[in-house]
Amino acid sequence: MAKIDRRIVKSQEAIKKAVVELMAEKPFDDITIQEIADRANVNRGTVYLHYTDKYDLLDKLIEEHMDNLRQLCREAADLTFEEGNYIWYEYFERHQLFFSTMLSSKGAPFFRNRFLRLVIEEFKPDVDTSSGKNKGLNEDVVLQFFASAVVGIVEWWFKQGRPLPARVIAEQTGRLLDRNFD
């Protein structure tokens, strides 16, 4: 595997941080590449070296977080919902500015839908409508119901300023999920 230059990584991280900070201040459509470059303390050409435009930057940033959440799911495959939730909520806390901004900005519907699709993908293997509590229910309805609940509680958590610690919210939502997937 090729070694990535630390300067490149540092520039990309600064650019990603800059766009999220700017999105917390104003609508994405009003943000310019020059503002991103200035905030990241890089040349405008450096932004274009890594990203086609600000939409490409945002898409890549969203995909990076979705990939990270997907990886956390893989790592938590043998854990209870409560334990797995805690791993996600820790991640949400570490990336609080990104998630709170994305769930409250004008771009929220796009991000929310992308996040919802990820949760559905990750829950799908756990949904059994042939036996147990969900026997006879439509799989799509079950998936949509629980995925919407998960995304909704994350939205609520951020919009309310994270009124409960990650451990508590993970425990409570995990218990609710465990009740329905046993």
pLDDT in tens, 73-110: 888 888 887 888 899 999 999 999 999 999 887 666 78
Q: What is the model's pLDDT at position 108?
A: 67
Mean pLDDT computed over 16-44: 94
Task: Report whether pLDDT(1) > 60.
Answer: no
Q: What is the model's pLDDT at position 133?
A: 85
What does pTM read for this prediction? 0.87
Q: Delineate the domains of the chain, giving CATH numbers in brackets.
A: 1-51 (1.10.10.60), 65-181 (1.10.357.10)
Question: Measuring CA to CA, which residue among 166, 66, 156, 67 is closest to residue 111?
Answer: 66
C-alpha to C-alpha distance for 38 and 75, rounded to whole angstroms: 37
